[in-house]
Amino acid sequence: MSVGIHAFGGYVPQLRLDRGSIAAAHAWFNPGLKGLAKGERAMANWDEDAITMAVAAARDCLGTASTVELGGVYLASTSLPFQDRQNAGVIAEALLLGSDLLTLDIAGSQRAGTSALSAALKMAAGGGKPILVTAAEKRRARAASPIEMTTGDAGAALLVGEGDGVAKLLGQHTKAVDFVDHYRGQDEAYDYTWEERWIRDEGYMKLVPAAAEAALQAAGVSGADINHFCFPAAMRRVAGGLAKKLGIADEAVRDNLQANLGEAGAAHGLVMLVHALEEAAPGDKILVTGFGQGCDALVFEATDAIKATRPEVGVSGYLKRGLTETNYNRYLAHNDLIEMERGLRAEMDKQTGMTTLYRNKEMILSLMGGKCSQCGTVQFPKTNVCVNPNCSAVGTQEDYPLSGASAKLNSFTSDRLTYSPDPPAYYGMVQFEDGGRSMTDITDVDPAVGLEVGMPMHLTFRVKDYDAKRGFRRYYWKAAPDAAAKGD
């Protein structure tokens, strides 16, 4: 039975931190960082994390109005927001995927993304409904470390299932070896990394070829047949050395996106795979690897269906939407890497009532509105009484999801008195195209463009606020200006 990738999508935050600003801040201590100071790294906003970026990538993959019935949702990450609350379950709620499915978090290694994909493909080979594989990272790094310079924040999503799809699986193989190139112990905030030459010579150059050669053999192809080689590592020239060892042509080595994104941890292999699929032609063969305590290697072949299947934005589209950020302190604050005086207004208790959250989870996590079955009026939130004064029918509300609805900005406020981790706080009223309106926070505002009444908006799943006292975070749907409204 053949299995393959049936849809794909990605997400890259719009903020791009200029690496030169990082190097300049630490030149007094570590002038060697100037060698890594070229380009930009993707920088998640304060209200983004692995869950929100995975939701964004999944929406890009499935389409905001998708009705695909799934058998499972996987989330791969080493920066999961919760250690003991299933993160993939939040994604399923946000995407309105129902409760009759398997949700699974996969972590513990930088190859978690490719391992999740491998496991999903093996499950799909046994029949059943398609599986949505997501991966996202928002990794923290010590200030003045090389990892701070080379990493970036991003997410990817792939829908896998029976049939060839847009890219059929030809073969795969995993080598599980406890080779420790870096580690992060329990309750530790940062990775501890070993010497670079050791990682390259004993890790990359020995473990990756062993797994890749076995996958190529299983696929019945040679390295010379590969059109796209995805090796997710920031280290320079390693991918080219591996390609030579495997007999892969130099031109088949994919851009590792280091110039304008950075290495997105466990998600990066899937990010590069999505980027390759966006450019693949029918018949192209793709080799993607994931490295971390061993190596995963998977070989795919693009089918004719690839010509008609593209994500709504894709990794390529998001890369074009970047806003350069040169304020290094903003990055430190967004990642809680600096202790700041945030003022009295930040001291408000933000405890979340779990009973209230559960009873209203469809409204809060899924942005579920209502539509009157008698007069057709759409409203948010959904209530027992129709808000149309000419109707006012009782008990006629049907579920009407609004997370994918087009909207326009009715009014807005830019507020520097209320507390915001990234002042000013923007909030306002959005009017949905099919009816209904909502007062909500506004995020991803380009200071050079600002906001304007009537501008097109879309809804994006974000962190509403953090309860630092109890280690909880609340999620909600915020409004953001459409790309066209920002001049893209």
pLDDT at 180 (0 to 100): 94
Same domain, 325 and 423: no
- Do 128 and 42 lie in one domain? The reply is yes
Does residue 387 lie in a domain region? no
Nearest-angstrom CA–CA distance, 462 and 422: 14
Residue 67 predicted with pLDDT over 80: no
Query: Is residue 406 located within the same domain as residue 270?
Result: no
- 114: pLDDT strictly greater than 60: yes
How far apart, in whole angstroms, are the C-alpha atoms of residue 111 and residue 208? 12
Residue type, 99: S
pLDDT at 446 over 90: yes
**Cis ω before 456 (30° cut-off from 0):** no
Mean pLDDT, the chain, rounded, equals 95
Do residue 89 and residue 174 come from a single domain? yes
* CA dist list (Å): 312 to 48, 60, 62, 305, 443: 20, 5, 9, 16, 20
pTM equals 0.96
pLDDT in tens, 136-160: 999 999 999 999 999 999 999 999 9
Confidence of residue 49 (pLDDT cuts 50, 70, 90): very high
pLDDT at 64: 53
Q: Are the C-beta atoms of residues 135 and 315 closer than 8 Å to each other?
A: no
Beta strands in 96-199 (DSSP E): 102-106, 131-137, 154-162, 167-176, 182-183, 192-193
Q: Does residue 162 register a pLDDT over 50?
A: yes
In this structure, of 53-57, 188-192, 217-221, 289-293, the range with the lowest mean pLDDT score is 188-192
301 assigned to some structural domain: yes
pLDDT band, very low/low/confident/very high, at 95 (cuts 50, 70, 90) = very high
Pairing between β-strand 192-193 and β-strand 368-372 as defined by DSSP bridges = unpaired
Domain end call among 309, 334, 359:
334
Q: How far is CA 358 from the centre of its chain?
A: 25
Residues 175 and 39 in one domain: yes
Torsions phi, psi for 134 (to 5 deg): -120, 155
82-102 mean pLDDT: 96
Q: 392 lies in a domain?
A: no
Give the DSSP letter string of 358-372.
HHTHHHHHH-EEEEE
Strands, E assignment, 335-471: 368-372, 378-379, 397-401, 407-415, 425-432, 437-442, 456-467
Which DSSP helix (H) or strand (E) runs through 11? strand 3-11
140 and 282 part of one domain: yes
- Please give the pLDDT value at position 128: 85
Per-residue pLDDT, averaged over 431-443, amounts to 95
- Mean pLDDT, residues 399-410: 95
Q: Same domain, yes or no, for 135 and 278?
A: yes
Is 207 contained in some domain?
yes
Of 297, 315, 334, the last residue of a domain is: 334
DSSP 423-434: SSEEEEEEEETT
Candidates 30, 5, 7, 33; CA nearest to 18 is: 33
- Same domain for 411 and 316, yes or no, is no
CATH code at 428?
2.40.50
Geometric angle at alpha carbon 151, from 150 and 153, rounded to 5°: 150
Q: Report the C-alpha gap between 229 and 253 in whole angstroms.
A: 5
Q: What pLDDT is stored for residue 37 in this prediction?
A: 94
> What's the confidence (pLDDT) of residue 487?
47
* Average pLDDT of span 384-389: 96
**In the chain, how many domains are there?**
2
210 domain residue, yes or no: yes
Instruction: For residue 55, give the CATH number of its domain.
Output: 3.40.47.10
Q: How many helices (H) and strands (E) does the chain have?
A: 13, 22
Asked whether the predicted pLDDT for residue 357 surpasses 50, the reply is yes
Which whole number is the average pLDDT over 378-402? Answer: 96
Pair (442, 300) in one structural domain: no
Rounded to an integer, the average pLDDT of 267-288 is: 98
Q: Which domain holds residue 29?
A: 3-334
pLDDT at 1 over 90: no
**18 belongs to a structural domain:** yes
> Same domain for 408 and 303?
no
Q: Tell me, yes or no, whether 440 and 294 share the same domain.
A: no
Residue 104's pLDDT band, with cuts at 50, 70 and 90, is: very high
In a domain, 154, yes or no: yes
384 found inside a domain: no
Contact (CB, 8 A) for 115 and 106:
yes
Q: Which of 44-48, 276-280, 304-308, 344-348 has the lowest mean pLDDT?
A: 344-348
What whole-number distance in Å separates Cα of residue 245 and Cα of residue 240? 9
Same domain, yes or no, for 327 and 465?
no
Section 8-36 average pLDDT: 95
